[in-house]
Amino acid sequence: MKRTSEDGQSKLPDNTALKQQQLPAYRLQLSATGVLSCFFATGVFCLGMGIILILSAKSIKEIEIKYTKICGNCAKLREDATNFDKECTCSIPFYLSETMQGNVYMYYKLYGFYQNLYRYILSRSNSQLVGTDLKDVGNCAPFSKSHDGTPIAPCGAIANSIFNDTIILSYKLNSSIPIKVPMLRSGITWWTDKYVKFQNPSSINLSSAFAGTTKPPCWAKPVYELDGEDPGNNGFLNDDFIVWMRTAAFPTFKKLYRRLNRIQYFIEGLPAGNYSFNITYNFPVTRFKGEKSVVLSTLTWSGGSSLFLGLVYTVTGAVTWLASFSMMAVHLTLKDRKVLFIQQ
């Protein structure tokens, strides 16, 4: 059967600008002058931003003290796991030559500790950490249950390997008896971690809430007794625990440990003078040839003392300018050839 002209016309698209693909459009007309201007402007911006970031990072005052070798006796003691219940402390005196103005932060820094291993990152139970199911230990093996089958809370390799050194900063005021520098442990976590990713079980008494579970093998205390001074800083909401559970991308990393409480003698920051770190050494690092250090640092609007971002901007700006000059040379060469060809 032959198709009629009416059938053929009925299948035609509507005579509209959209369906007939006749909408008005703009096409960017690139010129050598416009492209070179954009490249030069981008280069100026990147170079300027890079220099500003580098100068900002250089203005940060920071002091780092590695204490693995200084506390060598404690490090050797911790090589033997049977000595886990023996306390070992060491004191590290140092001199602060100039005042650290403003907010001062204390970090612990680890060298050679690979938190970015795939199996290590997966070794946790998110449903357990938000307090919904303390018995869910599916991804935590071999740190899922104790020898008698009791679920571990918190389970997994990340929680089991928590950094557990205790670091206290002391200040000698007028060469007298050292006074303890007031430090705050609150405000060291990410907001999303503290209020979204970590929650305690819905119970007034944490001890009864964690009944039927046991502590990780390498922990000295159960999770509901981590902080004897602040009852609200126990369980999965413990600030040190939350900071540790956010894994680092590189084997050398530092994590926020404390921040200065700016009261009494420390309203303006840390004054110059004699200080000491009093460390209870618990976290073993010598068996994997790692090192530990403690860092005191100020911050600026651009963050910490890392030069990485500033160098990236500077290198990007330099490469952009180099590309701009190269393109300009090519453009002028071709332009001169075109003029010569027309004259001939």
pLDDT of residue 81: 79
- Please choose, from the candidates 296, 304, 297, the residue with its C-alpha nearest in 3D space to the C-alpha of residue 169: 296
What is the per-residue pLDDT for 305?
83
> CA-CA distance, 241 to 30, in Å (whole number)?
55
Q: What is the pLDDT of residue 177?
A: 83
pLDDT at 189: 95
pLDDT means over runs of 10, the chain (344 residues): 56 79 80 88 95 93 95 90 87 94 96 95 95 91 93 96 96 86 94 94 88 93 92 94 96 96 94 96 93 95 88 96 90 68 53
Specify burial of residue 215 (Cβ count, 10 A radius: 0-12, 13-18, 19+): buried
Q: What is the pTM of this model?
A: 0.83
Q: What is the pLDDT of residue 335?
A: 72
How many of the other CB atoms lie within 10 Å of CB of 219? 18
Give the pLDDT score at 10. Answer: 63
